[in-house]
Structure 1
Amino acid sequence: MTQQLILDLPAAPAPTLSGYVVGGNAAALDALKQLQPGRALYLWGPSGSGRSHLLQALCAQSSAGQGSYLNAASPLHDYTELTQGDTPLSALVAIDDVHLLDESRQAALFTLYNLWREAAGGASAFPLLLAGDQSPLGMPLREDLRTRLGWDLVIRLEQLSDEDRATAMAGQAHQRGLRLGPEVINWILTHYSRDMGQLSALIDALDRYSLARHRAITIPLLKELLASQAPAPSHSDLA
């Protein structure tokens, strides 16, 4: 019965622009909302600053969800299909985690940049959105691609404050119909990761764990969940 309850849980809500906690990133959010065909935007910031959330949200919103979202784990075929396809690009193309791209994907992105520039100002113009963990000059990429990252608008994403993180967690819990008390949120922010991706995953795990055990989300339940996921001690630790 417990397993069935877990399997019947709804999927985590998809990223949306309205669900993004802005914090100090109002300029980035405004630039995203105004991104037009023929323009490019490169967002950079540390892990947990919301890069992937923003790219996925804008793709879902673009042209009734016709935007293309790729990252370093996407098949190379998906990259070459964008650059070698017979149909001209028209919807948003978003490339995430540019700093992790291998040589083949870097070459495909280089070609995509050239297509974007050739099409800019014409009927086949499309918006290009990219994200990485460093400024263009600091990216570990081939030189001709690194310079292209700075061809148009470049904006740095700032980490959220603890207050912003608390707001984000409360909002995600509300979307799931969970009651996440301030004492639980404060405990998490004091004792757990501050990375929003990991915090979102923890809320998802709490949702499943509390439902499986028919218990409200409290600090004892949270500690029990974290203890159950901790690696078992090795024989050397027990010696």
Structure 2
Amino acid sequence: MSDPSRQLAIDLPPRPAHGRADFLASECNRAALERIDRWPDWPGRRLVLYGPASSGKSHLARLWCAESGARYVPARDLASELPLANGALPPAMVVDDAEAASERALLHLCNSCAEAGMALLVVSRNAPAAWAIDLPDLASRLRAMPAVGIDMPDDTLLAAVLIKHFADRQLRIAPSVIGYIVPRMERSFAMAASLAARLDELALAGGRSIGLALARQALAELGAETA
């Protein structure tokens, strides 16, 4: 007979919260948030939103979708979304991770949005000026679009991002553990996501709560300083 006092470990996927109240505003992303909030007062109804991995770009894009009625399309699916059907044109389009999109598909999207009067949000890691673009027409269109970026996070935002990642995984972490991790981790949104994922895995595998010992292990595995 199984022991009812034992907790069954279930590997549940994280459920990211993408509501407005869930977006963590800070100085590093304030300009981007303000530009999204300025909709529909966008010059040319176009915008490039760029920033580091896991910095909240997709979160902002989904907030804009809710406001504008835009269709959200990951770069990998863009080619299959085109051509846009004339009878079912959305009022706006978002292409996420745009640097990974087919250049011809992205150019077609830019042209289609311009011809149909649809708004367009292009989401990427880098500003278009830093992209390696082979098609001159695409380069000129993207580089002519207004752009706003998200900078790297400060300690306060990193702590808040970690807490959100853990909350998305239905995990509660003591403030002392967050306080231990933040000054020792790589200063990036992506590392915050990686640490939360690894700590979740370690806790699940060992049937342990997340404390300083697991934090040290995860930091060491991911190449951070643990002194």
For 1:237, the equivalent position in structure 2 comes to none
Answering whether residue 39 of structure 2 is matched by residue 46 of structure 1, we say no
In 2 relative to 1, CA 61–184 (structure 1 residues): closer, same or farther, beyond 3 Å? Answer: farther
Contact 1:59 1:69 in 2 (8 A): no
In 2 relative to 1, CA 12–108 (structure 1 residues): closer, same or farther, beyond 3 Å? Answer: same
Among the aligned pairs, what percent are the same residue?
29
Structure 2 unaligned regions, length at least 5: none
Give the deviation of 1:227 after TM superposition. Answer: 6.3
Answering whether residue 146 of structure 2 is matched by residue 153 of structure 1, we say yes
**Counterpart residue identity of residue 140, structure 1:** A
Give the deviation of 1:54 after TM superposition. Answer: 2.5
Contact 2:79 2:105 in 1 (8 A): yes
Cα distance in 2 for partners of 1:106, 1:189 equals: 39
Give the deviation of 1:3 after TM superposition. Answer: 11
* TM-score of the superposed pair, with normalisation by structure 2: 0.76
Structure 1 unaligned regions, length at least 5: 121-125, 231-239
Cα distance in 2 for partners of 1:15, 1:114 equals: 30
Provide, for residues 69-128 of structure 1, a one-character-per-residue CA deviation record: whole Å limited to 9, x for no partner: 212xx14xx424233434342144211233333xxx1111111111111122xxxxx321
Residues matched between the structures, number: 215
Answering whether residue 119 of structure 2 is matched by residue 117 of structure 1, we say no
Answering whether residue 131 of structure 2 is matched by residue 139 of structure 1, we say yes
Secondary structure at the aligned position of 2:132 is classed as coil
In 2 relative to 1, CA 137–205 (structure 1 residues): closer, same or farther, beyond 3 Å? Answer: closer
- Quick check: 111-120 or 204-213, which moved more? 204-213
**Counterpart residue identity of residue 112, structure 1:** L
Contact 2:47 2:147 in 1 (8 A): yes
**Counterpart residue identity of residue 116, structure 2:** A
Contact 1:60 1:67 in 2 (8 A): no
| 1:21 aligned to which of 21, 24, 42 | 24
Contact 1:17 1:58 in 2 (8 A): no
In 2 relative to 1, CA 40–3 (structure 1 residues): closer, same or farther, beyond 3 Å? Answer: farther
Give the deviation of 1:10 after TM superposition. Answer: 5.3
Query: After the TM superposition, which residues 160-171 of structure 1 pair with which residues of structure 2 at under 5 Å, given as runs?
Result: 160-171=153-164
Give the deviation of 1:209 after TM superposition. Answer: 3.5
Cα distance in 2 for partners of 1:133, 1:43 equals: 8
Give the deviation of 1:172 after TM superposition. Answer: 3.6
Contact 2:17 2:168 in 1 (8 A): no
Contact 1:165 1:196 in 2 (8 A): yes
Give the deviation of 1:4 after TM superposition. Answer: 6.0
| 1:128 aligned to which of 120, 135, 140 | 120
Give the deviation of 1:15 after TM superposition. Answer: 3.2
For 2:61, the equivalent position in structure 1 comes to 55
For 1:81, the equivalent position in structure 2 comes to 81
Contact 1:99 1:132 in 2 (8 A): yes
